[in-house]
């Protein structure tokens, strides 16, 4: 048995594995959120050791306590007291945990390994990642994040113990799959920098393993992060590059074309966007790959997800008829699935797109009816893509003369505001989105 930490702060710091430098960076970042810019205190190494060592006779001054309370979600008096019972979990500070894990993933992605492990360990890890990918849309982002981070760490631990080339390659692929799921979870809660780092790490894993489907998936993720953060031209470049990779199947190609179409829509290139929408509906060679088809789940791009993406692109190019038809198709397809297997992002996103198309066509009553599917999405399933659509709906209602001042418009704006405010990304303080979606 190890010695009991003298303070809860020491226990929490140990739980996170923070050294002085990492703690100071987090402290400074948190201070900027709760204190005026001209009064942010610093934390010296000796001060850090006094705080965690239980040597204080009095609490730090008020601003410092406010920062520490914001960091750990615990009153300062409790932080500097001996821990009692189980140390509180840390998932409530998900954005900082995402940043920490994202950096660790980048550091681990290129490391070499040694020794050997049981094939059964690799098989179990493969099964666990496959199950997580296939149940992604039925879980909260926090749950996916926690599980995929643990599985990536497990893949890295195994990889560091084996010299068997086949195991090395598979563990690189599995670590990359876990990093990809972490990137998606980080994106879903609006943590774009962490998501970008993790997607790049996944691409490094795929390149090291000589596994093009993982590289294609990672580049597609980087592409939609790019247009969500204001760089649709980069999204076009990334998807164009990924489409040249050998060994990717029709599903991978369809996903990349849909992402590229949306990027062209954001750039105002209506002709290119329309052409790519047509390609996603017609282009098929029968090719398959082990990631997008074999594991599928979050790595797949089923027809309902394609239809929802096409409805969003159609809205960007101003084709409300195509947008309504595509959104209705997405809803028809997703509701055919068993209730516990329906994708919340598709249900909510297609409902929002359908409402948008009807509002643009002047059909307020049918637009409000379409939103029933969006309102039904639980707060922890209200991910970035859905919130972007809700935001666009709200801005349309506020800016359009047809709806200005009406009781229906006021009620809709109030409901959307509450819908966004109670979502997981908003509760976690996610950054605002960059594009007019």
Q: Name 338's Cβ contacts closer than 8 Å, sequence gap at least 6.
A: none
pLDDT confidence band for 113 (50 / 70 / 90): very low
Give tens-digit pLDDT for 343-379: 999 999 999 999 999 988 888 889 889 999 999 888 8
- Cβ atoms of 369 and 407 within 8 Å: the answer is no
Q: How far apart are CA 25 and CA 242, in angstroms?
A: 35
pLDDT over 70 (residue 139): yes
pTM of the model: 0.73
- Cβ atoms of 236 and 264 within 8 Å: the answer is yes
Q: Provide the residue ranges of all domains of the chain, joining segments of one domain with +.
A: 8-88, 96-331, 332-437
- Cβ atoms of 353 and 323 within 8 Å: the answer is yes
Give tens-digit pLDDT for 316-331: 999 999 999 999 999 9
Of 102, 190, 90, which Cα lies nearest the Cα of 427? 190
pLDDT confidence band for 40 (50 / 70 / 90): confident
Confidence (pLDDT) at 75 = 85
Architecture of domain 96-331: Alpha Horseshoe (1.25)
| C-alpha neighbours within 13 Å on the C-beta side of residue 180 | 32
Give tens-digit pLDDT for 234-285: 999 999 999 999 999 999 999 999 999 999 999 999 899 989 988 876 667 8
Query: Exposed e or buried b for every residue in 270-291, given b needs 16+ CB within 10 A?
Result: eebbbebbebbeeeeeeeebeb
Confidence (pLDDT) at 13 = 84
Confidence (pLDDT) at 114 = 44
Confidence (pLDDT) at 80 = 86
Confidence (pLDDT) at 1 = 45
Q: What is the mean pLDDT of residues 134-163?
A: 93
Confidence (pLDDT) at 395 = 85
pLDDT over 50 (residue 24): yes
Q: Name 187's Cβ contacts closer than 8 Å, sequence gap at least 6.
A: 195, 221, 224, 225, 228, 383, 384
pLDDT over 80 (residue 287): yes
The residue with greater pLDDT, 330 or 410, is 330
Give tens-digit pLDDT for 73-96: 778 888 888 877 655 544 446 666
Q: Name 121's Cβ contacts closer than 8 Å, sequence gap at least 6.
A: 158
Q: How far apart are CA 61 and CA 320, in angstroms?
A: 58
């Amino acid at each position: 048995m190890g010695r009991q930490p003298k303070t809860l702060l020491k226990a929490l710091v140990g739980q996170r594995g923070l050294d002085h430098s990492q703690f100071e960076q987090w402290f400074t970042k948190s201070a900027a959120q709760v204190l005026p810019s001209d009064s942010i205190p610093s934390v010296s190494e000796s001060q850090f050791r006094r705080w965690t060592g239980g040597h204080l006779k009095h609490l730090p001054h008020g601003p410092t306590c406010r920062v520490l309370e914001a960091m750990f979600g615990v009153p300062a008096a409790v932080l500097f007291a001996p821990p009692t019972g189980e140390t509180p979990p840390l998932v409530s500070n998900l954005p900082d945990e995402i940043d920490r894990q994202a950096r660790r993933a980048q550091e681990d992605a290129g490391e070499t390994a040694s020794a050997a492990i049981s094939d059964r360990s690799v098989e179990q890890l493969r099964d666990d990642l496959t199950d997580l990918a296939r149940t992604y849309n039925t879980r909260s982002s926090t749950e996916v994040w926690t599980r995929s981070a643990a599985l990536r760490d497990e893949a890295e631990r195994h990889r560091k113990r084996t010299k068997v080339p086949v195991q090395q390659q598979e563990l690189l692929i599995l670590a990359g799959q876990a990093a990809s799921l972490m990137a998606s979870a980080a994106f879903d809660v609006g943590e774009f920098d962490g998501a970008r780092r993790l997607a790049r790490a996944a691409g490094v894993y795929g390149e090291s393993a000589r596994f093009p489907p993982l590289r294609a998936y990672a580049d597609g993720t980087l592409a939609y992060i790019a247009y969500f953060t204001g760089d649709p031209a980069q999204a076009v470049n990334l998807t164009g590059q990924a489409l040249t990779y050998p060994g990717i199947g029709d599903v991978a190609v369809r996903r990349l074309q849909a992402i590229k179409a949306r990027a062209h829509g954001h750039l105002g290139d209506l002709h290119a966007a329309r052409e790519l929408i047509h390609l996603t509906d017609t282009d098929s060679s029968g090719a398959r790959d082990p990631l997008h088809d074999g594991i599928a789940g979050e790595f797949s791009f089923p027809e309902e997800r394609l239809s929802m993406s096409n409805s969003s692109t159609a809205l960007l190019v101003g084709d409300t008829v195509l947008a309504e038809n595509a959104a209705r198709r997405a809803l028809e397809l997703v509701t055919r699935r068993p209730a516990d297997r329906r994708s919340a992002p598709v249900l909510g996103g297609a409902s929002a797109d359908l409402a948008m198309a009807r509002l643009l066509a002047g059909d307020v009553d049918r637009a409000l009816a379409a939103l029933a599917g969006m309102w039904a999405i639980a707060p922890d399933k209200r991910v970035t893509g859905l919130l972007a659509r809700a935001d666009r709906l709200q801005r349309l209602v506020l800016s359009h003369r047809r709806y200005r001042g009406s009781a229906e418009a006021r009620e809709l704006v109030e409901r959307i505001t509450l819908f966004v405010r109670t979502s997981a990304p908003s509760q976690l303080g996610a950054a605002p989105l960059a594009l007019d979606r």
